Amino acid sequence: MQKKIKYAVGIDLGGTSIKIGVVSNDGKTLYKTSLDTEADKGPDNVIKQIKKGIHSVLDKNKIKVKGIGIGAPGVVTLKTGTVENPPNFPGWEKIELGKVIKKEFNLPVHVENDANAAAVGEMIFGAGRKYDSFIMVTLGTGVGGGVIIDKKLYRGEFGAAGEIGHITIDFDGPKCNCGSFGCIEAFIGNQYLVNSIKDELPNHPGSLINKLIEQDYVNLTPKIIDIAAEEGDEYAISIIKAVGRYLGSALASVSNLLDVSTFIIGGGVAGFGKPLFDEVIKTTSSRVLKPLQNRVKVLPAKLKNDAGIKGASALVYYVTG
Ligand SMILES: [Zn+2]
């Protein structure tokens, strides 16, 4: 029997932009738009922008939607859709975002932490569809995580579960933004990674990276490392392998803790591709307890473009079917 097509609004609330789209229950984005978050103007303004964006996609489409899903940074309380202390949102402490949006549009609203929404997105539309349990890892400015166990998102006691980025991999290591030391994020989060390469690059004068950034560190991004590695640059390849080793050692701990051995990796740094995935799987397999060794799977995320919008809309289908 053919599945009846339904629609939902998905909102990816980020520190610089708000991405909004209408996504069908077979994972297609029908229409999307993007607005500046203007987070520095305060939370009331951010809410104004979100409402404006939703009105714009709904008015243009005249489509009946099942509900609105919002992926937001910070800790989220499900019942009220309360978003607490999202990083990079000045003045935003605790706001019942779900309630506010529901009141405006009179539609069911599901708010979830953005990394958790990414995991739900992969479960409903992406690489996680055929697995009962998996861990989603998003490599970006931060290192986000989402835990799916028996087709359900594991949220923990307060909805803050899945913070893989803050697993300590070196207890004497560099200070992390979270206040702890030696978290995996303090090694492979975009900014930390770029900073450590800046420090080391003078020791590699022959590296292609120097040429690609035209001696200006502003141009140094994970993408540049990827390009240099594809050209066979040894230093760039060694960076990618190191990222894989750091990540793999953290994932081995996760696997031992939860007995979940499938990992789905997305986000910008996942663009390093095969060399990264090979190293992650090698490290994870060699470090998990013996019975798990042959079961470790590391897969690239399937949702790439619009991943945030699709993950957020998947929250609606996850709850309502
Ligand atoms: Zn940390």
User: What is the mean pLDDT of the segment spanning 210-221?
Assistant: 91
Q: How confident is the model at residue 1 (pLDDT cuts 50, 70, 90)?
A: low
In this predicted structure, the answer to whether residue 320 has a pLDDT above a threshold of 90 is: no
Determine the distance separating the centroid of ligand 1 and the alpha carbon of 172, expressed in angstroms.
13
Q: How confident is the model at residue 57 (pLDDT cuts 50, 70, 90)?
A: very high
Determine the distance separating the centroid of ligand 1 and the alpha carbon of 171, expressed in angstroms.
11
Determine the distance separating the centroid of ligand 1 and the alpha carbon of 193, expressed in angstroms.
14
Determine the distance separating the centroid of ligand 1 and the alpha carbon of 178, expressed in angstroms.
4
* Residue 248, token pair as written in the block: 């793999």
pLDDT of residue 2: 63
Provide, rounded to the nearest whole percent, the portion of the chain with pLDDT above 70.
Answer: 99
User: What is the mean pLDDT of the segment spanning 153-174?
Assistant: 94
Residue 65: alpha-carbon gap to chain centroid: 25
Q: Say which residues have a Cβ less than 8 Å from residue 293's Cβ, sequence separation at least 6.
A: 285, 286
Determine the distance separating the centroid of ligand 1 and the alpha carbon of 185, expressed in angstroms.
6
pLDDT of residue 304: 86
- Largest alpha-carbon pair distance within the chain? 62
* Residue 138, token pair as written in the block: 């998003």
Q: How confident is the model at residue 63 (pLDDT cuts 50, 70, 90)?
A: confident
Determine the distance separating the centroid of ligand 1 and the alpha carbon of 255, expressed in angstroms.
19
pLDDT of residue 61: 73
pLDDT for 70-88, tens place per residue?
999 989 999 899 999 998 8
Determine the distance separating the centroid of ligand 1 and the alpha carbon of 150, expressed in angstroms.
28
Q: What is the CA radius of gyration of the chain?
A: 20
| Residue reference for tokens 């932009």 | 17
Determine the distance separating the centroid of ligand 1 and the alpha carbon of 69, expressed in angstroms.
27
In this predicted structure, the answer to whether residue 147 has a pLDDT above a threshold of 70 is: yes
Determine the distance separating the centroid of ligand 1 and the alpha carbon of 183, expressed in angstroms.
5
pLDDT of residue 198: 94
Determine the distance separating the centroid of ligand 1 and the alpha carbon of 207, expressed in angstroms.
30
Determine the distance separating the centroid of ligand 1 and the alpha carbon of 181, expressed in angstroms.
7
pLDDT of residue 259: 96
pLDDT of residue 315: 97
User: What is the mean pLDDT of the segment spanning 140-169?
Assistant: 94
Determine the distance separating the centroid of ligand 1 and the alpha carbon of 3, expressed in angstroms.
43
Determine the distance separating the centroid of ligand 1 and the alpha carbon of 142, expressed in angstroms.
9
In this predicted structure, the answer to whether residue 123 has a pLDDT above a threshold of 80 is: yes
In this predicted structure, the answer to whether residue 239 has a pLDDT above a threshold of 90 is: yes
Return the minimum-mean-pLDDT range out of 25-29, 240-244, 304-308.
304-308
Q: How far apart are CA 81 and CA 211, in angstroms?
A: 48
pLDDT of residue 3: 74
Check if the beta carbon of residue 123 is closer than 8 Å to that of residue 311: no
In this predicted structure, the answer to whether residue 226 has a pLDDT above a threshold of 70 is: yes
Q: What is the 3-state secondary structure (H, E, C) of the chain?
A: CCCCCCEEEEEEECCCEEEEEEEECCCCEEEEEEEECCHHHCHHHHHHHHHHHHHHHHHHHCCCCCCEEEEECCEEECCCCEEECCCCCCCCCEEEHHHHHHHHHCCCEEEEEHHHHHHHHHHHCCCCCCCCCEEEEEECCCEEEEEEECCEECCCCCCCCCCHHHCECCCCCCECCCCCECECHHHHCHHHHHHHHHHHHHHCCCCHHHHHCCCCHHHCCHHHHHHHHHCCCHHHHHHHHHHHHHHHHHHHHHHHHHCCCEEEEECHHHHHCHHHHHHHHHHHHHHCCHHHHHHCEEEECCCCCCHHHHHHHHHHHHHHC
Determine the distance separating the centroid of ligand 1 and the alpha carbon of 46, expressed in angstroms.
27
Averaged pLDDT of the chain:
94
User: What is the mean pLDDT of the segment spanning 281-297?
Assistant: 95
